[in-house]
Amino acid sequence: GQQLNQSPQSMFIQEGEDVSMNCTSSSIFNTWLWYKQDPGEGPVLLIALYKAGELTSNGRLTAQFGITRKDSFLNISASIPSDVGIYFCAGPSAGGTSYGKLTFGQGTILTVHP
Amino acid sequence: DGGITQSPKYLFRKEGQNVTLSCEQNLNHDAMYWYRQDPGQGLRLIYYSQIVNDFQKGDIAEGYSVSREKKESFPLTVTSAQKNPTAFYLCASQKLAGLYNEQFFGPGTRLTVL
């Protein structure tokens, strides 16, 4: 089945630094989703991307849909302590009976030191 | 308020007992999903349902059962056959329409087997 490889697995940064993470797939995706999960909570959708090359921002977050449609990137600028959590990428699984299912990356654990 | 609710937030169970986790949504979403999350790991799909009275096994369905008698509700039963049930369980829902594939998550239930 489809797999999403997300990197890095974890990041330890100082408050104020910028963060970059990415997600790659062996197959083409027509949608890329980025979620954030706070400790002990459910994931929350941050950004959704629907077109190759699309660049979308949400406050200090910027995500891009790779031109090859096999990758996506998430950047966080000027990190703050509340950015701590796990960031997941996701994309729709193959069609047919899998319609609606999402494939998730393994997650990037972000730790921000004050 | 529209959203997804899961109850209880914390659940303790003795070995050999079945336990049912609740998931309700008032978003009028078509599909609902159950995921399992273990510490430091991503999301693994247990079961999903795209219409009432129908559901499909995910990647780790053994030891679990579900029902979808109403569009709003998708309870998960963790049976005594599940060998290692201690985990964080997440429910999600999704509108199946066009190209939009976002899944929205509930707050999760942490199950501990004593």
Q: Do residues B112 and B84 make contact, with C-beta atoms less than 8 angstroms apart?
A: no
B5 touches chain A (CB under 8 A): no
* pLDDT at residue B62 tops 90: yes
B10 touches chain A (CB under 8 A): no
Mean pLDDT of B56-60: 94
Q: Do residues B29 and B74 make contact, with C-beta atoms less than 8 angstroms apart?
A: no
Select the residue of A30, A45, A107 nearest B42 (Cβ to Cβ).
A107
Q: Which residues, in sequence order, are CB contacts of A70 under 8 Å at separation 6+?
A: A24, A25, A26, A27, A28, A29
Chain A nearest-CA distance from B81, in A, is 26
* pLDDT at residue B37 tops 70: yes
Mean pLDDT of B7-23: 94
Reported as a pLDDT band with limits 50, 70 and 90, residue B99 is low
- pLDDT for the residue A17: 97
Select the residue of B42, B101, B107 nearest A88 (Cβ to Cβ).
B42
B102 touches chain A (CB under 8 A): yes
Q: How many CB atoms are located within 10 Å of the residue B17 CB? A: 12
* pLDDT at residue B25 tops 90: yes
Select the residue of B101, B104, B107 nearest A41 (Cβ to Cβ).
B107
- pLDDT for the residue A101: 86
Question: Which residues in chain A land under pLDDT 50?
Answer: 96
H/E stretch holding B51: strand B43-51
- pLDDT for the residue B60: 95
- pLDDT for the residue B41: 79
The residues facing B64 across adjacent strands are B78
Tens of pLDDT along B79-94? 998 989 999 999 999 9
The residues facing A5 across adjacent strands are A24
B90 touches chain A (CB under 8 A): yes
Tens of pLDDT along A74-91? 999 999 999 999 999 998
- pLDDT for the residue A98: 56
Considering only CB atoms, which chain B residues are within 8 Å of A97?
56
* pLDDT at residue B27 tops 90: yes
- pLDDT for the residue A100: 80
- pLDDT for the residue B79: 95
- pLDDT for the residue B103: 92
Read out DSSP for chain A?
Answer: ---EEEE-SEEEEETT--EEEEEEESS--S-EEEEEE-TTS--EEEEEE-STT-EEEETTEEEEE-TTSSEEEEEE-S--GGG-EEEEEEEE--SGGGTT-EEE---EEEEEE-
Chain B nearest-CA distance from A59, in A, is 20
Q: Do residues A4 and A48 make contact, with C-beta atoms less than 8 angstroms apart?
A: no
- pLDDT for the residue A30: 86
Please provide the average confidence, as pLDDT, over all residues in chain B: 93
Q: How many CB atoms are located within 10 Å of the residue A80 CB? A: 12
